[in-house]
Structure 1
Amino acid sequence: MANNDPTKIRFAPKGAVYLAPAVGATLPTAVGDGKTAPTGYKSLGYVSDAGVVITPTVTADPVNVWQSAVPVLFNVSAATFTVSATFAESNVNTTELFWGASWVAVTPEGGGTANTWRLDLSSTPELQEISLVVDWGQGDVLNRVVIPRSMIQDRGAITLVRNANQEYQLTIDALDSDGTLGYVLTNQDMTTAP
């Protein structure tokens, strides 16, 4: 147990999720300050106390040969990088991302009621391509995941009850971006082994 260091055990008591249109996004190259959205990105607000789940997955298929009862090699058949979260805040950014459409003001001239907003759900929706940033930290240690290109892979149901807030459950999958799915930034010193 030599060289174990309990000061390097990490929690994520603070964090945020940000999005920007994938096309034209200026990808962050610094870990940030843990409080401010990267330039050009917008906050998705509060996340439920279940937090954010980041899942990198590599699927490999075995290469079997006649001369061996066990695989002699594995070949990568798929790779995914997924971010899942349940957003607790009903703000414009979160609701537009969840519904896949934009809010527009209803006007009395158009036959509507003033101070009303409308979001039209298409019968043939177009999938939005977004850039996603997830920040988290503990104390002075800050971390950031940057996904240059991604799309919503799954949406959960919204439950309407009197004793719990509305929540927007989203699973977002990274798309290929010049041979990468994304990258991780940290200000923790990674030059020394435990």
Structure 2
Amino acid sequence: MPSGNADKIRFAPDGMLYIAPTGTGLTLPTDAGDGATAPTGYKALGYVSENGVTLTPSITTTPLPAWQSAAPVLYNVDSASFQLQATLLEASKLVTETFFGAEWVAVEEDVAGTPTPTGEYRLDLSSVPELKEFSLVCDWTHKGHLWRAVINRAMVAERGAITLQRTQAQQFELTIDAMDSSGALGYILTSENMGTTP
């Protein structure tokens, strides 16, 4: 007889990524939310490609062999990481500034000695870019169960190429790494019963 429980299989048909600048004024979420509202102080990054979001916790270890055993007798942790990958679809101010790591500024021209907006905006790509730190929240739901991953301190580790085509939307592919925050990389919250139920 099967010993599994199909009711415990979970998908992620819906969700959202939220971002906020780190700082003393930011309060990290302490609950799984309602599946629709951004946590206080965070803003939604909008549509994500149909591939969804990939969360990757990983640990790199070094085995310690011993003379008396053919197998390692101990593993030492070399590094730990928590990584999020997603491809954003909206060419919004928030998404493009996060992707390029720079801010848009209004272009002005001198009209009779008065700086006047031209209606255009400029984003400068520095040869010595300043890496920006932020906080990230990933929400997802399935069958009424709410899940939330929270990264207190995060930074963009890799960016994908933007393809400009007639029939394909621009895509902003990001790989985001969690950074240490007082010994933690982040945490997961859920409304699902994870107590005594197997």
TM-score, normalised to structure 2's length? 0.93
Alignment-derived partner of residue 90 in structure 1: 91
2:70 partner SS: coil
Matching of residues 128-167 of structure 1 within 5 Å: 128-167=132-171
**By how many angstroms is 1:113 displaced?**
6.5
Residue type of the partner of 1:60? T
Deviating more after overlay: 144-153 vs 58-67: 58-67
Where does residue 15 of structure 2 map in the other structure?
15
Deviation at 1:3, TM superposition (A): 5.6
Paired with 2:108 and 2:21, the residues of 1 have a C-alpha distance of 27
Deviation sequence 1:141-187 (CA, Å, 0-9, x none): 01000000011110000011111000000000000001100000000
| d(CA) in 1 for partners of 2:158, 2:3 | 42
- Name the aligned partner's letter for residue 73 of structure 2: V
Match in the other structure for 1:181: 185
Q: Is there any run of 5+ residues in structure 2 with no aligned partner, and where?
A: none
Give the AA of the match of 1:48. S
Note the alpha carbon deviations across 1:44-99, whole angstroms, 9 max, x for none. 11000000000000111100122222211111111000000000111111100000
Once the two structures are aligned, what percentage of the paired residues are identical? Answer: 54
Tell me the distance in 2 between the aligned counterparts of 1:26 and 1:147. 12
Two-structure CA RMSD over aligned residues (Å): 1.6
Following the alignment from structure 1 to structure 2, what is the Cα–Cα distance between the partners of residues 190 and 2?
22
Give the SS at the match of 1:107. Answer: strand
Equivalent position of 1:60 in the other structure: 61
**Number of residue pairs the alignment of both structures matches:** 194
Flag the structure with higher strand content.
2
CA distance in structure 2 between the aligned counterparts of 1:15 and 1:126, rounded to whole angstroms: 30
TM-score under structure 1 normalisation? 0.95
Which residue of 1 is the match for residue 45 of structure 2? 44
Provide Cα deviations, 1:106-130, integer angstroms capped at 9, x if missing partner: 1233888622111111111010011
Rounded to whole Å, the distance in 2 between the matches of 1:165 and 1:112 is 33
Q: Unaligned regions of 5+ residues in structure 1, if any?
A: none
> Which residue in 2 is equivalent to 1:118?
122
Structure 2 residue identity aligned to 1:117: Y
